[in-house]
Amino acid sequence: MTRELNPSRPRLAARLPRWALVAALAILGTGVTSAHAADSSFSLDFSNAYVWRGIVFNDSGVAQFTLDTGSLNAGSVPIGFNVWGNFDIGDFDGALEKNNLSEIDLTVYAGLPYGFEVGLIAYEFPQADGGSTQEFYVTWGGDYVVSPSVAFYYDFGAVDSYYASLDLTYSIAVGAKTGVDLSGLIAIAGEGFATFNGGEKGGFYNYNLSAGVSHQVNDTFGLSGSVGYSGSLDEDVLPEQPLGFYVM
């Protein structure tokens, strides 16, 4: 699966102490205690691979979950919280321990006018000694016949560099409860991000093509599936990966 907000996967200690991020989340959280109810959601995905920003972290089966509060109206700024995790079913040809929770991402985000969103992401790697990092991000999305989405991420923890992407999505309604999404993405990365992940320089990084189908069974339950292909735009920036095709 490719996840954005989602989100480099370094196995290095972060520069920002963990207590500082926890404190920031707590401060933001105090403003949400009297918030109106939000549309919270939970999803569980199974995929043949964990592909993130063109990088293959596991090509032998994963399960991934997402818990999102939705936007809470804290004063005049809608704030939300998201928890995402990756569970390795396969061992990536012996490189990983199978049946292990290898990553947890904690995100706090705020919706802004005109389609903008900003947030902070804390990446935690339970199987790595001291493995964590943090990112700041800003995104913008529009609702058109072909909907664009622009995202900029800056890792200020272990990498000290950026990753930015442009995504175009064409959505087709098939009846009242079923939809089809066709998406294409291209991205660039700073030199620090690229070299941290095995590249030689910064520049055009990866592309991703995907097609997905979703069906809303009722007000609280839905089903979805997608296929995609991810590859490198420049192998001096993103080295060739062991897998490009994924299903979830």
pLDDT (tens digit, 9 = 90+) per residue, 139-177?
999 999 999 999 999 999 999 999 999 999 999 999 999
Residue with the bigger pLDDT between 143 and 18: it is 143
According to DSSP, residue 116 is labeled: E
23's tokens: 């404190």
Token representation of residue 219? 């007000």
% of the chain with per-residue pLDDT over 70: 83
Looking at residue 223, what is its pLDDT? 95
pLDDT at 237 over 70: yes
User: Exposed, middle or buried by CB within 10 Å (0-12, 13-18, 19+), for 145?
Assistant: exposed
Quick check: 45 and 67 in contact, CB under 8 A?
no
Reported pTM: 0.84
pLDDT in tens, 32-59: 433 344 578 999 999 999 999 999 999 9
pLDDT (mean) for 23-29:
38
pLDDT at 18 over 70: no
Do the Cβ atoms of 222 and 214 come closer than 8 Å? yes
In DSSP notation, 40-70 reads: -EEEEEEES-EEETTEEEESS-EEEEEEE--
- Whether 116 shows a pLDDT value over 80: the answer reads yes
pLDDT given at position 53? 96
pLDDT tens-digit profile of 78-105? 899 999 999 999 988 877 888 999 999 9
Cα distances (Å, whole numbers) of residue 30 to 21, 117, 136: 14, 20, 21
Residue percentage of the chain with pLDDT more than 90: 70
Alpha-helical (H) ranges within the chain are 18-30, 191-196
